[in-house]
Amino acid sequence: MLKAKKILVGISGGISVYKMCTVVRLLKKSGAQVRVLMTQSATQFVTPLTFSTLSQEEAVVSLWPSDAHSSTDLGTKHIELGLWADAMVIAPATANIIAKLATGIADDVITSAVLALRCPLLISPAMDVDMYLNVVTQKNLALLSGRGYFILPPEEGELASGLVGTGRLPEPEKIVAFVEDVLNKTPRDLSGKKILVTAGPTHEPIDPVRFIGNRSSGKMGFALANAAALRGGEVTLIAGPVALETPKNVNRINVETAEEMKRAVLAHSKKSDAVIMAAAVADYTPAHPASQKIKKAKLSQSGFTLELKETADILKELSTQKNGALLIGFALETNDAIKNATEKLRSKNLDFIILNSAHDEGAAFGSDTNVVTIIGKDGTTERLPKMPKFDVATEILNRAGRRLAASSKKERK
Q: 3-state SS of the chain: helix, strand, coil percent to 5?
A: 35, 25, 40
Identify the DSSP state of 104. T
Using CB under 6 A as the binding rule, the residues of this chain from 271 to 300 that contact ligand CTP are 277, 279, 281, 283
Pick the closer one to ligand CTP by CB: 134 or 342: 342
The answer to whether the beta carbons of residues 311 and 237 sit under 8 Å apart is no
Segment contacting ligand CTP (CB under 6 A): 141-149, 285-293, 307-315, 366-374? 307-315
Choose, by CB under 6 A, the member of 13, 125, 329, 401 that binds ligand CTP: 329
Choose, by CB under 6 A, the member of 34, 331, 363, 392 that binds ligand CTP: 331
Residues carrying an active site annotation: 214
Pick the closer one to ligand CTP by CB: 179 or 277: 277
Pick the closer one to ligand CTP by CB: 93 or 220: 220
Residue 313 is a binding residue for ligand CTP (CB under 6 A): yes
Question: To the nearest whole angstrom, how small is the minimum distance from the Cβ of residue 213 to ligand CTP?
Answer: 14
Pick the closer one to ligand CTP by CB: 178 or 330: 330
Pick the closer one to ligand CTP by CB: 140 or 269: 269
Using CB under 6 A as the binding rule, the residues of this chain from 207 to 266 that contact ligand CTP are 258
Q: Cα separation of 247 and 143, whole Å?
A: 11
Q: What residue spans of 195-335 are helical by DSSP H?
A: 219-230, 258-269, 296-302, 314-321
Give the interface size with ligand CTP as a residue count (CB under 6 A): 14
- Contacts of residue 248, defined as CB under 8 A and 6 or more positions apart, other chains included, come to 117, 147, 148, 226, 229
Question: To the nearest whole angstrom, how small is the minimum distance from the Cβ of residue 29 to ligand CTP?
Answer: 46
For residue 43, the one-letter residue type is T
Q: Cα separation of 193 and 233, whole Å?
A: 5
Residue 311 is a binding residue for ligand CTP (CB under 6 A): yes
Choose, by CB under 6 A, the member of 26, 46, 182, 315 that binds ligand CTP: 315
Question: To the nearest whole angstrom, how small is the minimum distance from the Cβ of residue 385 to ligand CTP?
Answer: 22
Residue 36 is a binding residue for ligand CTP (CB under 6 A): no
Q: Cα separation of 124 and 92, whole Å?
A: 6
The answer to whether the beta carbons of residues 28 and 4 sit under 8 Å apart is no
Residue 344 is a binding residue for ligand CTP (CB under 6 A): yes
Q: Cα separation of 91 and 114, whole Å?
A: 13
Question: To the nearest whole angstrom, how small is the minimum distance from the Cβ of residue 198 to ligand CTP?
Answer: 6
Segment contacting ligand CTP (CB under 6 A): 46-54, 77-85, 165-173, 326-334? 326-334
Question: To the nearest whole angstrom, how small is the minimum distance from the Cβ of residue 251 to ligand CTP?
Answer: 19
The answer to whether the beta carbons of residues 34 and 55 sit under 8 Å apart is yes
What would you report as the CA-atom Rg of the chain, rounded to the nearest whole angstrom?
A: 24
- Residue 179: CA count within 13 A, CB half-sphere: 30
Using CB under 6 A as the binding rule, the residues of this chain from 168 to 187 that contact ligand CTP are none
Contact characters 55-74, ligand CTP, x per CB under 6 A = --------------------
User: Quick one: 180 exposed, middle or buried, by C-beta within 10 A (0-12, 13-18, 19+)?
Assistant: middle
Pick the closer one to ligand CTP by CB: 74 or 358: 358
> Please, which residues bridge with residue 352 across strands?
328, 376
Segment contacting ligand CTP (CB under 6 A): 86-94, 99-107, 172-180, 309-317? 309-317
The answer to whether the beta carbons of residues 238 and 268 sit under 8 Å apart is yes
Pick the closer one to ligand CTP by CB: 140 or 202: 202
Pick the closer one to ligand CTP by CB: 155 or 283: 283
User: Would you put residue 104 in left (φ > 0), alpha (ψ -120 to 50) or beta?
Assistant: left
Question: To the nearest whole angstrom, how small is the minimum distance from the Cβ of residue 312 to ligand CTP?
Answer: 6
Choose, by CB under 6 A, the member of 51, 132, 178, 330 that binds ligand CTP: 330
Question: To the nearest whole angstrom, how small is the minimum distance from the Cβ of residue 66 to ligand CTP?
Answer: 55
The answer to whether the beta carbons of residues 381 and 338 sit under 8 Å apart is yes
Instruction: Report the candidate in 325, 371, 391 with the shortest Cα–Cα distance to residue 352.
Output: 325
Question: To the nearest whole angstrom, how small is the minimum distance from the Cβ of residue 206 to ligand CTP?
Answer: 18
User: Quick one: 197 exposed, middle or buried, by C-beta within 10 A (0-12, 13-18, 19+)?
Assistant: buried
> Applying CB under 6 A, which residues contact ligand CTP?
258, 277, 279, 281, 283, 311, 313-315, 329-332, 344
